[in-house]
Structure formats: structure tokens, C-alpha cells
Amino acid sequence: MLKLDAVSRVFPGGQQALAGITLDIAEGEIVAMVGGSGCGKTTLLRLISGLDQPSAGDILVDGRTIDGPNEKVGLIFQEPRLLPWLSVAENIGFSLHHLSKAERQEKVERALLRVGLGGYGARWPRQLSGGQAQRVSIARALIAQPKVLLLDEPFSALDAFTRAALHEHLIALWEAEQPTLLLVTHDVEEAAILADRVIVMQPHPGRIFAELTVDLPRPRDRLDDRLHDVKRRILKALDGSLNDAQSTSSQNDAAAFWW
Amino acid sequence: MPATPDPASLQPRPGLRFAGAALGLVLPLLLALGLELAVRFGVMEGRLTPPPSKIITTLSGLVASGEWFSHAFATLKRVAFGFGIGASLGILIGALSGAMLLVRRLIDPAIQALRAVPSIAWVPLFILWFGIFETSKITLIAVGVFFPVYLGVLGAVLAVDRKIIEVGRVFRLSRFDLARRIMLPATLPALVISLRAGLGLGWMFVVAAEIMGASEGLGFLLIDGQQVGRPDLIIAAIFSFALLGFLTDWLLDHATRPLLVWRDDLSSSEGA
């Protein structure tokens, strides 16, 4: 349902950020992308969301090419990016401007309850904690009912407890609507606990190094041995991706790595 | 949360705050009292340095005869028209110039060059073009107001966070909606500041315009006081300018505050 066909992206400066990414994600699937910095994870999400255009290759959602921001694709940024001049409720209802006020209010109210922020609608964004703000931004993206939801390291700035709570929130929200989730992260545990499939990326230029299937039932227990197995497999693949990248680049520009 | 101290205890006590404000009045009051006593006991002659009581008498005389109101109204009207025209053009052209690179390349250099001209230098030309009555005065004020507003709006539009604009793009806002729902609120705090700067210049230029030649207005009182040798009249007019300038700025500030309560900066904390 989300299909990437040999997608490449060259930055205006000439640097190749992504090379030949081919990926097929099924409806309702949760896919996590892990990889060191500079392997083009965020770039890829920006292409799928339509904020940027690929230099080559095609991105298709339900068989239709993405050539700009699309109602079927939602994006949750690394930072909450709430609009400071709108209340929490107005932020969540930002995409519902075409609806009547009553309809909008009802939907927003329901969305607030679903992310566990009932009664917070009248607050300003500046009055929220980091975890609350990120939940508002998740609610804002989900309320538009996208078929594909892209998450760009959405929990990376939060503490471990808040992050664990938000993982549960996210899974609960996903179970309600079953959108396709594509999550970029550098947290191996996050990938293991959330994803059906983990894609390990490799830098310079960004490409897919390995794919792992996580065949564990939900809800997943952080202390489960099988989950630790998954984490180990991901870490091993990550190691491989970095070593491989280093050995190929060490011949020509080893000096670039001295620091 | 039990660890949070009571917010009221973080504020200075009202009595202390009042005392702090009163402290600033001590010096001007002492000076005024000193001048009053010096004239009263014959230490100073007082013809060129009128004591406070003389100024108050002059001012209340002007108010009682209704003269003050007609002068103040004439001046306020000029400022209102000049500010209205200058600020509207500043906002419009500043926003266009900020939003469209082509427009900016086309007109910004010319505007910056014109901005380098001291606005008073236009007076002779405006008098030739627009005559000696209201048009030339209002034009001068509008020119004075235009530049700070234009500069402020242009800077604010260019400074809008790209990350916030991307939120609008992800939700597929049209160009118009992007301007209305993202750019306008994001630039509002800077817009208010530039309007206040513009208003200040408006008051400056109305004095210049009225000194150049007017038959009514507070600026006319300044010149009148000089020509008939009445410093008390001049100081009464200066006081009136200070009062009206302060009041209009206060009004602008407070009228726009409800639009800006969302801000998360020093302005939103009490006592700032």
C-alpha cells in the first residue's frame, strides 16, 4: 500500500542522501527504520510526506504517486511543532477547518481523551510538558485519519518513562484505526517493541542494509527474552551496516573519520 | 504538585511594587518643588523658567476655554490619518516584500535608499507638491510611519520558523490560508512592536509638520509660545504631547495584548 521504487535523493549541494530505496509496506503494518545518523532516514520521511521531491524513483500510496503533501499521509515531527498561538484543542483540530464548529469540537474532544489529555483542550502549548506536547502533535496528525502515518524520531527528546508510556499510547491508537506506521528511530528497543518489521539503514549514501521481521505478539513485554533476541539481532545488523560503511569509505576518505 | 510554591508568593507584594514605582517620581517632584520655591523666594526670575504652578495655570486655562481640545484634536487627527496610511502601506508592502522574493528584489533596494533620506528633508518638496495645508502634513507623517513598519513586517515575515511553515504544508494549506493561519499570527508580536515604533515616529513628525506652519494644533502652540515669549505655553504643549503620545501608545499596547497572550517569553510573565 506504501510502495517505494528505487527512490533516490540528491541534495542541491550534490551530496547523495539516498540511493535506490525499494520498499513495500502492507496496509496496517508497523515498520521501524533504524540506522546511524546521516543515513537519510529523515530525508526519506520528508520524501514520503511530499515535503520534498525524490531525485529519482517513485513513491506510491494506494497506487498513486506522491508529488506533494497528501491527505492520506500524516507526519509527526521530531519536535511537537505545535502552533503557539492556538490552544491545545485548536492545534489538534487544525486540519478540520472545513467541518462545522460542533463537529470539530466533538472530534477534538474525543482525540484528547484518546491521547489521555482530557480537560487539557483550553491550555496553551507553552503550558504542556514535552511528553504532553508530543501527544498533542500525535493527536493532531491522527485526527485527519491518514492511511500512512510517518513518525520521525518522535520520542527521542523524552525521558525513558515518558517514552515507554507513549509507546503504549501509540500502539493503543494504532489498534483503533490500524493505519500503516513508518517510524524512524535510533532507539533499538523502540524498534523492537513497536515494529512488525525493522529496516536497518546504512549511511553514505543512505540505503537499506538489512530487513528483520519481528514475529512477537502484542502487547510486548520489555523484559521478554524473545524481545532481547530481537534487540540483539537489530544491534548486530546495525554493527554490520556501520562496519561495512566504514570499510568501503576508509580507503578514499579515511581522514574524514579521524574525529 | 506539592513541590510547586504558591504562585502568589513568587510575585512581589503589591505594596512593594507601588513603592518601587513611587521611587521614580521622587527626582522629578523634587526638581519641580525646587524650581517653584526658587521662583517664589526670588532666587530665580522665572520669566524664562516658569514654575510648575504657572504651567498648571496655563494648561488649565487652555482646557477651560476649550482651546486645548481643538488643538489636541487637530494634532490627533493628523497623527491618526498619517499613521493609518503609513502603517497600512508599511504592512502591505512589507508583507508582499517578505513573502515574494521577486517583489523584494524589485522594491527593497529602492525603499532602503529612500529610508536613508531624513524624512524632514521632504518637507519643502511636499509643500510644493501638496500645498501648505493638511495633505502635506499627513503625507510627511505617513512617510515617517511607513519605514519602521515596513522594516518590522519584512523582518518578521523573513524570520517565521520554517518548521512551523512545514506544519502548514503537511496539512495542505493554500497560499492564502498559509498567510492567514500561519504567517499572520506568527508575525503578530513583531508587527505590534513595529506599529508602536511607527506611532512614536508619527508623533515626532506631526511636531515637525506643525512647526513648519499651522494655524492650529499642539505644534502651533509651541511656535505661538516662542513668538509671543511665553515659555509656559511651550511647556504646556510639550506636556500635552507627552501625555497624548503615552496614551496612544498605551492604547495600542493594551488593545493588542489579548491577541498575544499565547506568547512564551518574558512578556508573558508578570512584572516584565
Which domains can be identified in chain B, with CATH numbers?
A: 65-262 (1.10.3720.10)
Nearest to B164 among A75, A83, A95 (CB): A83
Least CA distance to B163: which residue of chain A? A81
Query: Which amino acid, one-letter code, is at A213?
Result: T
The predicted structure's pLDDT at residue B119: 82
The predicted structure's pLDDT at residue B188: 92
Q: Which residues of A touch B264 (CB under 8 A)?
A: 84, 124-126
CB B97 within 8 A of CB B104: yes
Distance, CA of A70 to CA of A67 (rounded, Å): 8
Is A154 an interface residue toward B (CB < 8 Å)?
no
The predicted structure's pLDDT at residue B212: 81
Least CA distance to B169: which residue of chain A? A69
Cβ–Cβ below 8 Å for B164 and A74: no
Q: Rounded mean pLDDT of chain B?
A: 87
Which positions of chain A have pLDDT values less than 70? 245-259
Nearest to A81 among B167, B185, B261 (CB): B167
Question: What 8-state DSSP symbol labels residue B117?
Answer: S
More confident residue, B129 or A15: B129
Say if A72 falls within a structural domain.
yes
Cβ–Cβ below 8 Å for B262 and A84: yes
Instruction: Tell me how many domains chain A contains.
Output: 1
Say if A17 falls within a structural domain.
yes
Size of interface A-B (CB pairs under 8 A): 48
Residue A16, beta-bridge partner list: A10
Cβ–Cβ below 8 Å for A124 and B186: no
Nearest to B170 among A75, A86, A126 (CB): A75
Residue of B189, B164, B190 lying closest to B178 (CA atoms):
B164
The predicted structure's pLDDT at residue A49: 92
Residue of A155, A235, A198, A218 lying closest to A30 (CA atoms):
A198
Please report, for residues A1, B130, B189, the alpha-carbon distance to residue A64 in angstroms, rounded to integers and kept in the order given: 10, 63, 42
pLDDT digits (tens, 9 = 90+) for B71-111: 999 999 999 999 999 999 999 999 999 989 999 999 999 99
pLDDT digits (tens, 9 = 90+) for B187-227: 999 999 999 999 999 999 999 999 887 788 999 999 999 99
Q: Which domain holds residue A36?
A: 2-80+148-247
User: Which ipTM was obtained for this model?
Assistant: 0.84
Distance, CA of A114 to CA of A108 (rounded, Å): 10
Is B262 an interface residue toward A (CB < 8 Å)?
yes
The predicted structure's pLDDT at residue B63: 92
State the smallest CA–CA distance between residue B171 and chain A in angstroms.
6
The predicted structure's pLDDT at residue A257: 47
Distance, CA of A60 to CA of A4 (rounded, Å): 6
Cβ–Cβ below 8 Å for B167 and A74: no
Is B169 an interface residue toward A (CB < 8 Å)?
yes
Is B171 an interface residue toward A (CB < 8 Å)?
yes
Q: Which residues of A touch B163 (CB under 8 A)?
A: 77, 79, 81
Say if A140 falls within a structural domain.
no
Q: What's the pLDDT band for B16 if we cut at 50, 70, 90?
A: low
What is the DSSP secondary-structure string of chain A? -EEEEEEEEE-TTS-EEEEEEEEEE-TT-EEEEE--TTSSHHHHHHHHHTSS--SEEEEEETTEE--S--TTEEEE-SS----TTS-HHHHHGGGGTTS-HHHHHHHHHHHHHHTT-TT-TTS-GGGS-HHHHHHHHHHHHHTT--SEEEEESTTTTS-HHHHHHHHHHHHHHHHHH--EEEEE-S-HHHHHHH-SEEEEEETTTBEEEEEEE----SSPPTT-HHHHHHHHHHHHHHHHHHHHHHHHHHHHHGGGG--
Say if A256 falls within a structural domain.
no
Say if A224 falls within a structural domain.
yes
Q: What is the CATH number of the domain that holds A225?
A: 3.40.50.300
Least CA distance to A127: which residue of chain B? B264
State the smallest CA–CA distance between residue A167 and chain B in angstroms.
23
Say if A171 falls within a structural domain.
yes
Least CA distance to A91: which residue of chain B? B167
Is B163 an interface residue toward A (CB < 8 Å)?
yes
Rounded to the nearest 5°, which phi and psi values hold at B78?
-65, -45
Distance, CA of A184 to CA of A18 (rounded, Å): 15
B209 by Cβ neighbours in 10 Å (0-12 / 13-18 / 19+) ranks as: buried
Is A95 an interface residue toward B (CB < 8 Å)?
yes
Cβ–Cβ below 8 Å for B171 and A144: yes
For residue A209, count other CB atoms closer than 10 A to its CB: 20
Please report, for residues A140, A238, A257, B234, B268, the alpha-carbon distance to residue A254 in angstroms, rounded to integers and kept in the order given: 45, 20, 6, 78, 51
Is B8 an interface residue toward A (CB < 8 Å)?
no
Q: Which residues of A touch B4 (CB under 8 A)?
A: none
The predicted structure's pLDDT at residue B53: 87
In a mutagenesis test of the B interface, which of A83, A123, A138 is the best target, namely the one with the most B β-carbons within 10 Å?
A83
Nearest to A124 among B167, B172, B262 (CB): B262
pLDDT digits (tens, 9 = 90+) for A6-38: 899 988 888 888 888 899 999 999 999 998 777
Cβ–Cβ below 8 Å for A86 and B164: no
- Report whether pLDDT(B122) > 50: yes
Q: Which residues of B touch A48 (CB under 8 A)?
A: none
Helix (H, G, I), strand (E, B) or coil at B213: coil
Is A249 an interface residue toward B (CB < 8 Å)?
no
The predicted structure's pLDDT at residue B247: 94
Cβ–Cβ below 8 Å for B172 and A69: yes
Is B167 an interface residue toward A (CB < 8 Å)?
yes
Cβ–Cβ below 8 Å for A85 and B171: no
